[in-house]
Every structure is written in C-alpha cells, then in structure tokens.
Amino acid sequence: MSFLIWLIDLLANGLILVVLVEALLSFVVPPWHPWRRALNRVVEPLLAPIRRVIPPVGAFDFSPLVLIILIGLVRQLLIRLLLLLY
C-alpha cells in the first residue's frame, strides 16, 4: 500500500512540476521551441477544460494555478481513500 501512496505522490508532484515549468517557459521561450511544444502536449489537454470555465483575465491566465490546486486535491483524495481501504 505504501508503494501506491508513494507512486500517487510521485506522479502528482511530477505533473505539478511539468505545469510549473511550462508556465514559466511560456514567458521566455517561443511557442515553437521543441521543449515548449513537448511540455505543451502534456499540459494543454489538462488546461483546456479549465480555460473554458475560467478564461484569462487580461494578460493573466490562472488555469495553471487552478490545475495545480486540482492535482493536489485529487492526490489527497486518492491517498485518503487508499488509507481508508487498508
């Protein structure tokens, strides 16, 4: 069971890191750069539904922040469910 909790935590932290790196690279790296395109392929399918609900406010896009919060909530929910089951 501790392996599953460790795996969930690792995947959630990795996804949060990818979202953060993609958001930071969007400020300094052009969109056609290979690294940015690769990260965008991972993150954009997760951000698109959030952007439909919460559009950008001026020049600020809060969808990465909302996604990070949602990843954290799902991580906590899954870990607590696993702890309840075992």
Q: Model's pTM, two decimal places? A: 0.91
Coil, strand or helix: which one is 60? strand
- Give the pLDDT score at 36: 93
What pLDDT shows up at residue 48?
A: 95
Domain assignments of the chain as residue spans, ordered by start: 2-85
Across 1-86, the runs of DSSP E, i.e. the strands, are none
Q: What is the C-alpha separation between 47 and 73, in angstroms, rounded? A: 16
pLDDT of residue 1: 73
CA–centroid distance for 8 within its chain: 13
Residues of the chain predicted below pLDDT 50: none
